[in-house]
Amino acid sequence: MADPRVIIGPIDHREPSDTAMPLPLRRLHHVAVIASDYRRSLQFYTDVLGLTLRAEHYRADRQSYKADLALGDTYVVELFSFPSPPPRPSHPEAAGLRHLAFEVDNIDDAVRHLDRLGVPHEPVRTDEYTGRRFLFFTDPDRLPLELYEKD
């Protein structure tokens, strides 16, 4: 019997042709985020999320800062500033990127950390499919962020 939670049909698995080889992706390299207030967002991503600033450049020709931020040894976020960027769409179900998710060892510790720093967040919920706990909050420009508890 089909799983009633699955709402799409099976994927069409075609035989690969010589010209249709899969792209040999290795991993997600980074996500680029444009900040309306670069310094405020840089402080948020380093002080609240604990990312490490690997490199920072000012590009005079674009009047833009660029910061490379890492999580441990992995480069994950490229933070940009541009003059007067438009605000992001407010509805989270708009087409395109919905949110960024970060894995945490313990969601209760993460809640205490966010609360101690005064970062508003939604209540902790449980993923009905995995049984893992998670919560949502936003960066200074209202980009939705998720903390997802490790198995």
Calpha distance 50→61 (Å, rounded)? 30
Domains of the chain in start order, with CATH, are 28-84 (3.10.180.10), 98-151 (3.10.180.10)
Strand order in the sheet with 74-81: 31-35, 74-81, 64-71, 52-59
Q: Average the pLDDT over 81-105 and give the result.
A: 84
CA distance 148 to 107: 7
146, with CB counted inside 10 A (0-12, 13-18, 19+), is middle
pLDDT, residue 55, reads: 96
The number of residues in the chain equals 151
Average pLDDT of the chain, as a whole number: 89
Distance CA 9, CA 14 (A): 15
pLDDT above 90 (res 15): no
pLDDT at 19 (0 to 100) = 63
pLDDT in tens, 103-118: 999 999 999 999 999 9
pLDDT over 80 at 79, yes or no: yes
Check pLDDT > 60 for residue 46.
Answer: yes
Find the DSSP H helices in the chain: 38-43, 107-116
The secondary element (H helix, E strand) that includes residue 17 is: none
